[in-house]
Amino acid sequence: MNIQQYIISNIPAFDVQTTCGELMGFFKENTFSHIAIIEKDRFLGVFSENDMDVVSAESTIEEHRYDLQAFFVRKETSWLDVLEVFARNEANLVPILDEVERVVGYYDLTDVVSEFIETPFFTDPGNILVVATGIKDYSFSEISQIVESNNARLIGGFITDMQNDVVQVTIKISTANFDKVLQTFRRYNYQIIFGNSDDQFLEDLKNRSDYLDRYLNV
């Protein structure tokens, strides 16, 4: 999936000598969580909107340079890794750097999420199933084999949680022989965390999307 079409090039990067008052104005006019800071046209870090409460308008970013965060992505960064950067840093805007550390644009969380939701994992009809197993026993090839051995089709899947030596995998499969797939997973000692129809899943997704819209509009 190519997300480079969503690169935003009309959002500025602020020089480290900029006053915090200018940053305050930027964050007041926008809903972004972070913005890139540069020094001599090179990326220095990102300033968080949350830090605006503890700086004075007259101070410069230079005076707070050690509070900057250092996350970014490259043009060639995969969309899954971009989503991970958003999640790990609780950000809705991520700077994109070129090979010489210049800021060439940004990704907006809503754009990347909307592209993700348009993938076959979400749009193709099927059933959602969440299974868990010991991390030492985890094998995606085995999960695929369980699905396909029951004449069902694996549409997609990914790890959604991994802690306490247990890995949780969310998969989407075709509706054919769904009960047989469930029985086989249980026979292979997988714990069934969640399994439902596509209609139920889409309703849940709609509720989550509505929540995201409300969050972004706060």
Q: What is the CATH number of domain 120-195?
A: 3.30.70.260
| Secondary structure of the chain in HEC code, one letter for each residue | CCCHHHCECCCCCEECCCEHHHHHHHHHHCCCCEEEEEECCEEEEEEEHHHHHHCCCCCEHHHHHHHCECCCEECCCCHHHHHHHHHHCCCCEEEEECCCCCEEEEEEHHHHHHHHHCCHHHHCCCEEEEEEEECCCCCHHHHHHHHHHCCCCEEEEEEEEEECCEEEEEEEECCCCHHHHHHHHHHCCCEEEEEECHHHHHHHHHHHHHHHHHHHCC
Give the model confidence (pLDDT) of 21-50 as tens digits. Answer: 999 999 999 999 999 999 999 999 999 999
Rounded average pLDDT over 82-90: 90
Any idea where the domains of the chain sit in the sequence? 4-114, 120-195
Give the model confidence (pLDDT) of 91-134 as tens digits. Answer: 999 999 999 999 999 999 999 888 877 777 778 888 889 999 99
The reported pLDDT for the residue numbered 81 is 86
Rounded average pLDDT over 146-170: 90
Domains 4-114 and 120-195 fall in the same CATH topology: no
- For the cut 50, the answer to whether the pLDDT of residue 210 exceeds it is yes
pTM of the model: 0.67
| CATH architecture group of domain 4-114 | Roll (3.10)
